[in-house]
Amino acid sequence: MTNKKALPVPNFGSDFYFSYHKSPSQKMRILELLPHSDGNGSSTEEEPLPQDADYNLSLSDELETSILARFPRSQHWKLSFLNKRFLTLMKSGEIYKIRKELGLKEPSVFMLASGESNWWGMEWPFKSSRKLPRIQSDYSFEFGDKESFSAGSELFVSGKEFDGPVLWRYDSDTNEWFKGPFMINPRCLFASASSGNFAFVAGGLETNTYSEILDTAEKYDSKTKTWKPLPKMNSKRKFCSGCYMDKRFYVIGGQDENRKDLISCEFFDEETNTWNLIPDMLKDIPLLDSQSPPLIAVVNNDLYTLDASTNELKVYLKGINNWKKLGVAPVRADAQGGWGVAFKSLGDELLVIGAPSVSHKERALAIYTCCPDPEGEKLKWKQIDCGSVQLNHFIRNCAVMMGST
């Protein structure tokens, strides 16, 4: 006679139950690999299963797949050790499609460090990392300037090959690189921002002759894989930065066609289909020679900047068009004028990657996060263990992927 019990699967946001039978010939492989989670990515202590017996799971393929889809992305490599069917689900991208349907989101950070040919990906909470396939491009693209941004579950890397401008697209669902779809106006040194399935780009330098600074803008839809033009900005800008805040696409700073530093900002309002100017937005931010585009990030609709001259973190006060100091960040943004530092929003946190603020002899990669408080006087930064990842501290490109909606 077979004893049958109901055993709850660890909570991944929904309650799932299945039956199991005692059997000496089967191992509970799935339960051994299932992470204990409270549904928000935090570990919880569950009562251990009995150790004096083996169990045979009676799960349908559909239920097994639904359970495995709830694995944190950082644990997905474990699925390949279960059997060929689960490995196929990963390679086909089916697991990620199911995750989208379930509304599961985990930030993914993609970065290209100096001296590396491959991009690296890290999924929150950064317990593991993976090397992405190498982009099958040429010498000109690999060693040339590049910009990166994301839309939905896609990572874009813009650059130039021997044959001309190119836009490579990484599909995180299938772990593959593809060319295109190309922008309407190929560009470099431009501003970009992401919002769910959409990406926005504006300004920059046209990449055919590098002789024209652009005032054009475009919007990408990851569901239709298409670009559409937006109205032109008020000013031509290169070396500018972008962000998405208050349901608007902001383009901040940069240089105009006369190589004049711009301290203004303008934002695109989709409801009115117009660009609106904010003069003197960067009036209190020192501008250095050969400085990087402004290091900016948005958390909870508040705009933050990392001052490349002082390493200070500042929050923008919208009502008075001014900046408030929040203390010094734990990386050396001032070492090379802001170049080589990644400063990004990570959901409800700020993320900064670069050389640590210690002795110049210690130049290993350092990753920090914090939950910013615009009303606070001092931020609490948390250093993230990079584990076995040994990368150069100079980050050439970085993008955060929040996933599709």
| Same-domain check for residues 200 and 168 | yes
* Mean local confidence (pLDDT), 32-48: 42
For residue 10, the model assigns a pLDDT of: 38
Of 165, 166, 148, the closest CA to residue 157 belongs to: 148
| Same-domain check for residues 149 and 200 | yes
Is residue 290 domain-resident?
A: no
Q: In whole angstroms, what separates CA 298 from the centre of its chain?
A: 13
pLDDT above 60 for 46: no
Residue 159: give its domain's CATH number.
Answer: 2.120.10.80
Rounded distance, CA 280 to CA 264, Å?
5
| Same-domain check for residues 148 and 247 | yes
| Same-domain check for residues 236 and 326 | no
Is residue 357 domain-resident?
A: yes
Is residue 41 domain-resident?
A: yes
β-pair partners for 231: none
Task: Give the number of domains in the chain.
Answer: 3
Rounded distance, CA 131 to CA 343, Å?
21
Query: Domain ends where: 283, 307, 333?
Result: 283
Q: What is the pLDDT of residues 331-364, one digit of tens each?
A: 989 888 999 999 999 989 999 999 887 654 456 7
Is residue 405 domain-resident?
A: no
For residue 163, the model assigns a pLDDT of: 92
| Same-domain check for residues 210 and 148 | yes
Identity of the amino acid at 148: S
pLDDT above 70 for 56: no
- Across the chain, mean pLDDT equals 82
Contact 146, 166 (CB under 8 A): no
Burial 195-204 (b: 16+ CB within 10 A, else e): bebbbbbbbb
Rounded distance, CA 377 to CA 116, Å?
38
| Same-domain check for residues 121 and 197 | no
SS (H, E, C) the chain: CCCEEEEECCCCCCCCEEEEEECCCCCCHHHHHCCCECCCCCECCCCCCCCCCCEEEECCHHHHHHHHCCCCHHHHHHHHHCCHHHHHHHHHCHHHHHHHHHCCCCCEEEEEECCCCCCEEEECCCCCEEECCCCCCCHHHHHCCCEEEEECCEEEEEEEECCEEEEEEEECCCCEEEECCCCCCCEECCEEEEECCEEEEECCEECCCCCCECCCEEEEECCCCEEEEECCCCCCCECCEEEEECCEEEEECCECCCCCECCCEEEEECCCCEEEEECCCCCCCCCCCCCCCCCEEEECCEEEEECCCCCEEEEEECCCCEEEEEEECCECCCCCCCCCCEEEEECCEEEEEECECCCCCCCECEEEEECCCCCCCCCCCEEECCCCCCCECCEEEEEEECCCC
Q: What is the pLDDT of residues 256-276, one digit of tens each?
A: 999 999 999 999 999 999 999
| Same-domain check for residues 250 and 328 | no
Structure tokens, 88: 């196929």
pLDDT band at 102 (very low <50, low <70, confident <90, very high): confident
Structural domain including 341 reads 107-133+297-398
Q: What is the pLDDT of residues 190-249, one digit of tens each?
A: 999 999 999 999 999 999 888 899 999 999 999 999 999 999 999 999 999 999 999 999
pLDDT band at 387 (very low <50, low <70, confident <90, very high): low
| Same-domain check for residues 188 and 324 | no
For residue 202, the model assigns a pLDDT of: 98
Is residue 289 domain-resident?
A: no
